[in-house]
């Protein structure tokens, strides 16, 4: 009896120790502004010191220990030879195992193709399966990388409006957009910027539509580890989807490794050959050290990622509550991702004007939902701003205080 009690107590202490250690990773003091101001080139390093950047989806936390160790090991060994086409065998094995276990796609290492990030994988996919003048259907709003990838292939973007209130896809409307030049359907699930998981029935309808018209599906699932409520369904896990889906996964969002430029495509052999044709390893080689870091992430950093998710949930709840308390601001609670996409159209200004105003008055940088010169999320993003919350509670709370004060003088 005593032994049992000691075991239970030991277990509780172990859990508490682990919990407090993982909390330390994401505590207020864990955000090292001294390092970020030198190294976070898309956020802290590019803006004046007094600005809080809630712009790029690039976490403010240092990567998990096993990832740092992997990079150190590679540096100590000092051998930086060419990597093989498609990725190192060890990386491909680790990725295949992760995808089988976490995404429910029955793949092997032969189905993995390493890329320098998901953005590059998107561009390769568009170039592999579209000819100039072909059409790709993408959602509106959605991350600008989809449109850019279609442009890079010389393709034409065809927008399918997403209901911004519910995030639902208009399946009937989508069907009406398919024409003789349609080649590709672009899925973003979980959805950036709406933070919604595409539902199984929606995916089913899209897979059926793709099968009816012989389309390739580019399924960007880079956000699929950041899920607070509900279950992510991988498009390629649906019956009939495997042979026409290129699934894209990455490391930037889950493991804070954006600068290591790593991602991978998962696909059936004929599709993978298409990728190989447009992106042979000698022109698009993937950094071997990044793959070692990626392998460490997949094999050893899941506890870190789970603790990160717990932290994000707390910041999300705080941010949504605060934003909903601000007059004229309407915001969906994201069930996935760390992006917020508040509707600020009631202020009677454009997204760009609002972003400029918040930068000048609140010293908080956000991304305009749409813009004349450059649109981050497509025409459907007008009236919105995007804010990320992959930072500490203290920084997020401070940013929200500033936004609230600036908005109160605007209204
Ligand atoms: C939907 C989506 N795809 C791709 C990317 C870029 O991925 P990576 O950093 O792996 O190139 C992002 C980054 O925000 C994204 O939101």
What is the 118 CA–ligand 1 centroid distance (Å)? 6
With b for 16 or more beta-carbon neighbours within 10 A and e for fewer, the 240-269 pattern comes to: ebbebbbbbbbbbbbbbbbebbbbbbbbbe
| 135 pocket-lining for ligand 1 (C-beta < 6 Å) | no
* Structure confidence by residue, pLDDT tens digits, 254-293: 999 999 999 999 999 999 999 999 999 899 999 999 999 9
Give the mutation target among 121, 122, 143 for probing the ligand 1 site: most ligand atoms within 8 A of CB. Answer: 143
pLDDT of residue 18: 53
Cα–Cα distance measured from residue 102 to residue 324, given in angstroms and rounded to the nearest whole number: 33
* Structure confidence by residue, pLDDT tens digits, 375-406: 999 999 999 999 999 999 999 999 999 999 99
Tell me if 263 sits within 8 A of 116, measured CB to CB. Answer: yes
| 190 pocket-lining for ligand 1 (C-beta < 6 Å) | no
φ/ψ (deg, to 5) at 232: -75, 130
pLDDT of residue 4: 46
The answer to whether residue 183 scores a pLDDT higher than 60 is yes
Q: Confidence band (pLDDT; 50, 70, 90) for 2?
A: very low
| 160 pocket-lining for ligand 1 (C-beta < 6 Å) | no
The whole-number average pLDDT for the span 129-148 is: 97
The whole-number average pLDDT for the span 186-193 is: 98
How far the first Cα of the chain sits from its last, in Å, is 66
The answer to whether residue 57 scores a pLDDT higher than 80 is yes
Tell me if 283 sits within 8 A of 276, measured CB to CB. Answer: no
pTM of the model: 0.94
pLDDT of residue 373: 85
Q: Confidence band (pLDDT; 50, 70, 90) for 8?
A: low
Residues, the chain: 411
Chain-wide mean pLDDT for the chain?
A: 94
The whole-number average pLDDT for the span 218-222 is: 98
Q: β-pairing, 182-188 with 216-220?
A: parallel
Tell me if 385 sits within 8 A of 400, measured CB to CB. Answer: no
Atom of ligand 1 lying closest to residue 263 CA: 10
Q: Residue 231, class by beta-carbon neighbours within 10 Å (0-12 exposed, 13-18 middle, 19+ buried)?
A: exposed
Q: Confidence band (pLDDT; 50, 70, 90) for 55?
A: very high
What is the 121 CA–ligand 1 centroid distance (Å)? 10
């Amino acid at each position: 009896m005593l032994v049992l009690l000691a075991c239970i107590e030991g277990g509780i202490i172990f859990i508490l120790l682990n919990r407090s250690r993982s909390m330390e990773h994401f505590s207020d003091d864990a955000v090292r502004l001294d390092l970020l101001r030198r190294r976070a080139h898309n956020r802290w390093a590019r803006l004046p010191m007094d600005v809080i950047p809630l712009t790029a989806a690039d976490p403010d936390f240092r990567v998990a220990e096993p990832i740092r160790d992997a990079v150190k090991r590679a540096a100590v060994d000092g051998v930086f030879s060419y990597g093989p086409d498609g990725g190192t065998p060890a990386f491909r094995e680790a990725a295949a195992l992760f995808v089988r276990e976490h995404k429910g796609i029955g793949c092997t290492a032969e189905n993995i193709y390493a890329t320098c990030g998901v953005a590059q994988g998107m561009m390769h996919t568009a170039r592999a399966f579209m000819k100039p003048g072909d059409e790709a259907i993408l959602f509106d709003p959605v991350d600008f990388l989809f449109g850019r990838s279609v442009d890079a292939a010389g393709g034409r973007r065809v927008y399918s409006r997403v209901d911004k209130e519910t995030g639902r896809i208009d399946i009937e409307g989508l069907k009406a957009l398919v024409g003789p030049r349609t080649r590709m359907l672009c899925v973003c699930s979980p959805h950036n910027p709406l933070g919604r998981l595409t539902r199984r029935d929606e995916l089913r309808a899209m897979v059926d539509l793709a099968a009816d018209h012989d389309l390739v599906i580019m399924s960007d699932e880079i956000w699929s580890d950041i899920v607070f409520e509900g279950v992510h369904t991988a498009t390629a896990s649906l019956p009939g989807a495997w042979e026409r889906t290129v699934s894209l996964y990455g490391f930037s969002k889950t493991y804070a490794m954006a600068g290591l430029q790593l991602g991978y495509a998962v696909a059936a052999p004929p599709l993978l050959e298409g990728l190989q044709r447009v992106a042979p390893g000698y022109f698009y080689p993937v950094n071997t050290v990044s793959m070692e870091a990626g392998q460490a992430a997949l094999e050893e950093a899941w506890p870190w990622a789970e603790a990160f998710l717990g932290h994000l949930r707390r910041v999300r709840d705080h941010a949504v509550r605060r934003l909903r308390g601000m007059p004229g601001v309407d915001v969906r609670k994201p069930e996935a991702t760390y992006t917020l996409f508040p509707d600020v159209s009631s202020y009677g200004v454009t997204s760009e004007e609002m972003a400029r105003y918040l930068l000048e008055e609140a010293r908080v940088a956000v991304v305009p939902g749409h813009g004349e010169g450059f649109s981050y999320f497509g025409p459907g993003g007008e009236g919105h701003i995007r804010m990320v919350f992959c930072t500490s509670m203290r920084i997020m709370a401070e940013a929200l205080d500033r936004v609230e004060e600036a908005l109160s003088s605007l209204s």
